[in-house]
Amino acid sequence: MILKMIGDKYNLQKNRSTAKLNDSTFFPTDDMPAKGGESMKTIVNITLASGKEDYDFTTRFMGQDFRIQRFGTDGDVDKAADLLQEWDTRADAIGMGYIQFPFTIGPKKLVEKQTKKLYELGRTLKTPFTTGDSIRMVSHEWCIRHLQYKFGNNYFNNSRVLILSGMINSTIAKAITEYTSNVKFCDPILEHGIPKFLNSFNDLELYAKGIHGVLQWVPSKQFSNYAMPLRTFNEHIIRQAIQQASIVVIPFYEFYKYAGQLGLKELSGKIVITSTAYEDRVKFLANRGVDVIIDTTPKILQRVVGVSVLEALILAALEKTPDTLTSDDILEVISGLRMDPRVVYPSGRQKRINRFAFVVHPLSQEYLKKIGPVKLISRIAPKSTMDTVERLMAYSPPFVYSKVTGVKSPTGVEAEGWLIAIGTTPKQMLAHSPEFTNDRLLKAAKIAKGLGAQIMGLGALTKAMGDAGMTVARMSEIPITTGNSYSASAALWAAAEAVRRIGVLETTKSKKLNGKTMVIGATGPVGSVCSKLLATAFEEVYMVDIHDAKLLALRESILNEIKNTKVHITTRSDKFIEEMDVIVTATTLPGHKILDLAKVKPGCVITDVNRPLNFTIKDAKSRPDVLIIASGEITLPGQVEMKDIGLPPGVAYASLAEAIVLALEGRYETFSVGREIQWEKVSEIYKLGLKHGMKLAAISGLEGVLKDEDFDRVRAHTVKYKDSLKKPSAKK
């Protein structure tokens, strides 16, 4: 058990059995053909593990019949040596199991002293003898590379991995560090009682060579064996590291010494990588809530057998000796028999949890007051003091505001993440240079990487970043997305819902809305598809752009594809603006107003899919009879738990939802950055959102989520306006 290993060497148990052995255990009986029989070949597995799990069964392998027998010696090396000599020339191949393999890292192979005798004896046997080391070396690396590719070529990306013994599992460690640098090794703690982790494969190599700086602490070992406070501290930091990891690598040899005292708190929800996961080990891990067990040893027979048995089978089937068995032979068998690593889901269903991060920030001083110390200051200090606090908070380092759990897609994939807060309000962002904000975002990305996030969303920070996230994406060590694509998609989604909730437009026989809609910036990448979507829902579409030839081509395309729609084109947004029921702004005019709000009729729904937005809160307040939509909020799938972000429970901003959708899909890539929104991505993220169970939850205006009274107010203005049009003119 880990707790007993603190400060101890990895010694082989030497519990000698005094039980008298029956001769029939060692020699072929009438029902077990000896070597040289007609067709049945014999494989003997002699293991230092318990004899309680011995077996005797027949099987077919590579077109040949085999009888496989296991003899456990309960850690008795002398008994194992006797068995080796007894079975020499009587078996077709002998596999030696449950030994500590030589380390494959360091200046030389280090062999545990008590098993060195068995290696030396094995080389003198006439019967092919193997420990399975060749298969083990290949399977350890093959396991990582195969699963990385099989599960989307991103399974291990930036995972937080804790390897209990890098010296034993160096092959796994080397392979997995190609996909993540979030790796810790417990070797100094478990071998020497030194309360320090190794944090990279390079550190492990230096440690193996005996030249890592951590080894200067070695004299503390003698003290740590007897000093309970240090032993307790070492136990604590290992448990804490396991809890923080998403993947734990537990060696096969002395498995229960490493894992025996770990419980639900440490292992629940983890991926555990080990070798030759016998049924008792699978049950042990299942009872501790492990989500996924990755067994590097392929299971190609009906029962689980160790690598020594597999290699002995190959030797006997090919009629080769360990000296004549080549790497090509092993590769041919592995590929031909599809000897893939085994993946066990203890719950009975596949489970995968992907990880994301998202940057949040206070929208105003009122949000800052939710922070404990600031809340106290705000009660007793004058307004000027809060202004100072707001300025100071802008310089505060990023911190984890909330863990997000319980996101579960209908596809079965789950996601968890972290909301990382920066203390800068929008006012302070605009008061500083873009480099100021980018610096804090890069620090947040570093925190996200350390937490194991595989993608990070930036939210509504594009204006403050200058280049809309391009610099952050280029310099970050994990993929970045601004969320602008899903924000645009959700804004259109919200526009359709807003029209429905206002409820003043009638539906025609063709099931379209009897109304007029306008797209400003219609020929752009976003505007062109907005135009097509609106043409499917409205009787009349007005497309505005300065590119007249493109307008003609777009109009022709829509008329050919969509029936029962009138399509008008113009280069002037003010020409028909007074008639519009819905307006979508898909472009911006730097230094100019995109449209004159004073000319818009009461009840008009305006959706701004541009980022940054074309309208301000002041604009919205100037026309209380008009609905300006900034975005739609998204209900996340599953039983979501996270701290308050100003929305109802389980509801997220579309920009946050974009990061979550990409995580659920396993799309760890820079998705939405820059000021040019690509419609292909707007459409794609909308479809991916539906796939993963995202639903429109709320509609946001420029000041936050729109309430029922907002829709009621606009509806009342609209009805009043329409009634006024019906009244006869006072003048004849």
What is the tens place of the pLDDT at every residue in 139-189?
999 999 999 999 999 999 999 999 999 999 999 999 999 999 999 999 999
Which residues make beta-bridge pairs with 162?
A: 184, 248
**Final residue in a domain of this structure, among 88, 114, 132:** 132
687 in a structural domain: no
pLDDT at residue 479, rounded to an integer = 96
Co-location of 127 and 157 in the same domain: no
Co-location of 241 and 141 in the same domain: yes
CA 674 to chain centroid: 24
Q: Are 178 and 163 in contact (CB under 8 A)?
A: no
pTM for the full predicted model: 0.80
CATH of the domain at 498: 3.40.50.720
Co-location of 16 and 119 in the same domain: yes
The helix/strand/coil state of 203 is: helix
pLDDT tens for each residue of 239-297 = 999 999 999 999 999 999 999 999 999 999 999 999 999 999 999 999 999 999 999 99
642 in a structural domain: no
700 in a structural domain: no
Average pLDDT, the chain: 85
The upper half-sphere exposure of residue 140, i.e. CA atoms within 13 Å in the direction of its Cβ, equals: 23
442 in a structural domain: yes
CA 190 to chain centroid: 29
CA 109 to chain centroid: 36
Q: Residue 730: pLDDT above 80?
A: no
Helices 383-393/372-380 angle, 10° precision: 160
Containing structural domain, residue 476:
356-486+651-676
Co-location of 272 and 371 in the same domain: no
Co-location of 118 and 221 in the same domain: no
194 in a structural domain: yes
* Burial class, 644, CB count within 10 angstroms (exposed 0-12 / middle 13-18 / buried 19+): exposed
Helices 525-537/484-502 angle, 10° precision: 30
pLDDT at residue 510, rounded to an integer = 78
Q: Residue 670: pLDDT above 80?
A: yes
What's the residue count for the chain? 732
The helix/strand/coil state of 75 is: coil
Strand 651-652, strand 631-635: pairing = antiparallel
Strand 399-408, strand 352-360: pairing = unpaired
> For the residues of 233-293, what is the DSSP string, one character each?
HHHHHHHHHHHH-SEEE--STTHHHHHTT--HHHHTT-EEEESS--HHHHHHHHHTT-SEE
Residue with tokens 């596949």: 350
pLDDT tens for each residue of 369-416 = 666 666 666 666 666 677 787 788 888 899 999 999 999 999 999 999
> Using CA atoms, how far apart are residues 485 and 678, in angstroms rounded to an integer?
7
What φ, ψ does residue 476 adopt, rounded to 5°?
Answer: -75, 150
Co-location of 97 and 183 in the same domain: no
pLDDT at residue 608, rounded to an integer = 84
> Using CA atoms, how far apart are residues 324 and 702, in angstroms rounded to an integer?
75
Co-location of 564 and 551 in the same domain: yes
Question: Nearest Cα to 564, choosing from 536, 584, 543?
Answer: 536
410 in a structural domain: yes
pLDDT at residue 493, rounded to an integer = 85
Q: Which has more confidence, 371 or 107?
A: 371
pLDDT at residue 468, rounded to an integer = 73
Q: Which helix (H) or strand (E) holds 606?
A: strand 605-608
Co-location of 148 and 274 in the same domain: yes
602 in a structural domain: yes
* Burial class, 29, CB count within 10 angstroms (exposed 0-12 / middle 13-18 / buried 19+): exposed
Co-location of 176 and 300 in the same domain: yes
**Final residue in a domain of this structure, among 132, 156, 186:** 132
Q: Are 125 and 88 in contact (CB under 8 A)?
A: yes
**Final residue in a domain of this structure, among 132, 163, 193:** 132
Q: Look up residue 254 and give its two tokens.
A: 């002395």
514 in a structural domain: yes
Co-location of 105 and 63 in the same domain: yes
Q: Look up residue 92 and give its two tokens.
A: 């077709």
Co-location of 408 and 550 in the same domain: no
Q: Residue 592: pLDDT above 90?
A: no
pLDDT at residue 685, rounded to an integer = 93
pLDDT tens for each residue of 449-500 = 999 999 999 976 655 566 778 889 999 999 999 988 888 888 888 888 888 8
* Domain count across the chain: 4
Contacts of 204 (CB under 8 A, 6+ apart): 105, 166, 167, 170, 173, 185, 187, 198
Residue 20 pLDDT level (bands cut at 50, 70, 90): very low
Co-location of 127 and 265 in the same domain: no
Q: Look up residue 47 and give its two tokens.
A: 């293991």
Is the bond preceding residue 612 a cis peptide, omega within 30 degrees? yes
